[in-house]
Chains A and B, each alone.
Chain A
Amino acid sequence: MAIDYLPLLILIILAMGFAAIAMGLPAVLGPKLPNKQKYEPYESGIIPFADARRRFPVQYYLVAMLFVVFDIEVIFLYPWAVILNRLGLFALVEMAIFLLILLVGYVYCWKRGALDWGGQVRPGDDVVESQVVESQVEEE
């Protein structure tokens, strides 16, 4: 029943209310000491010289696309999984075929290097993120 979801709606509304109140608190309690420097972007002390909104490596977009495909696949698995016990071997074989088809696509992605990050930077690439060096565990 749709009415079963009313508690969840109440939960969502109260969560929003809580977040709104928490956000509003410092406006009432906090001091107001405006200062021009405070409102500048934080760039580790360097004066910002360009807008931050620039282009990013295409790899991020590719990951999102691959995710869409696999996410839809996983969505299909849920109704199947919940009833597998009652359906038996037939359902298993059909899902195996479904997965094998997708596995072909996955192997293709792997071979084409769609799952690789960093490494080969081709001329003309608008690279923002430099290769990252090994970093340490953060200290408290």
Chain B
Amino acid sequence: MPIEIPIPTVTQVIFLVMALFTAACGLMVVISRNLFHSALFLVGALFGVAAIFVLLEAEFLAVGQVLVYIGAIATLIVFAIMLTRGMMRGRTSPMNHVSGRGALGALVFFVALLAFLKKVPWPEQAQAIPVDESLIAGLGDKFVTTYVVAFEAVGLLLMVALIGAVMLARDR
């Protein structure tokens, strides 16, 4: 069988660009000297993940990613940095004496993850999924039928988080 030179499709090119972007941003989160910059690179990485979700035709996840992670959680992180005196000046470096061991740990974790990914029998052919909108509607359907207990548990969890946040911030 002759070896074919694969010509990337538009989707593949976009995927590659977004994946590289996400990885680069992720790296910068760790090595940036300024904590505020790190937070912004984190936003970039989260955005790249959202783009990959779109490529996987998981639009709702992508929107959730943008709304919750970028719109809310990253804002929270930025506020947290602004509340902390030393960090605001941008003089704290994320590097300290354990960063070498941390990098080693990350490497081991990455290798383990790689080995794990190799084991998974990935399907060769993508399954046909319904049109995007009924997919989200199906999600709503599942919330109140199959996964109703988990759904209400999420409600409970959110309430606990709410009360915990208020207690942490108000009591000292």
Interchain CB contact (< 8 A) of B82 among A60, A75, A84: A60
Q: Which of B126-172 contact A (CB under 8 A)?
A: 132-133, 136-141, 143-144, 148, 151-152, 154-156, 158-163, 165-167, 169-170
Residues of B within 8 A of A81 (CB): 140
Task: Evaluate contact between B159 and A87: CB separation under 8 angstroms.
Answer: no
**Interface contact B56-A97, CB-CB below 8 Å:** no
- Report if A32 contacts B (CB, 8 A): no
Residue contact B158 to A102, C-beta cutoff 8 Å? yes
**Chain B residue total in the interface (Cβ 8 A):** 52
How many residue pairs between the two chains, A and B, have CB atoms under 8 Å in the bound complex? 149
Report B61 CB to chain A, min CB distance, Å.
Answer: 10
A61:B79 contact, CB within 8 angstroms: yes
Nearest neighbor of B77 in chain A, beta-carbon distance: A64
Rounded to whole angstroms, the CA-CA distance of A83 and B60 in the bound complex is: 14
Write out the residue numbers on chain B whose beta carbons fall within 8 Å of the beta carbon of A91: 140, 144
Q: Which 7 A-B pairs have the closest CB atoms?
A: A79-B140, A105-B162, A105-B159, A53-B88, A65-B165, A101-B155, A64-B76
Q: Is the interface of B mostly helix, strand, loop or mixed?
A: helix
For B26-40 the 0/1 string (1 means CB < 8 A from A) is 000000000000000
Contacts of B137 in A (CB 8 A): 79, 82-83, 86
Q: List residues of chain A with CB under 8 Å of any chain B CB.
A: 1-3, 5-6, 9, 51, 53-56, 58, 60-62, 64-69, 71-73, 75-76, 78-84, 86-87, 90-91, 94-95, 97-99, 101-102, 104-106, 108-109, 112-114
Please classify the interface of chain A as helix (H, G, I), strand (E, B), loop, or mixed, using the class held by over half of its residues.
helix
* B83 contacts A by Cβ under 8 Å: yes
Report Cα–Cα, A1/B131, bound state, in Å: 8
CB neighbours of B80 from chain A (8 A): 61
Q: Which residue of A lies closest to B84 (CB)?
A: A55
- CB-nearest residue of chain A relative to B167? A112
| 12 contacting pairs across A/B (C-beta < 8 A) | A3-B11, A53-B82, A61-B169, A66-B166, A67-B72, A67-B76, A73-B155, A78-B60, A79-B60, A99-B155, A101-B152, A104-B159
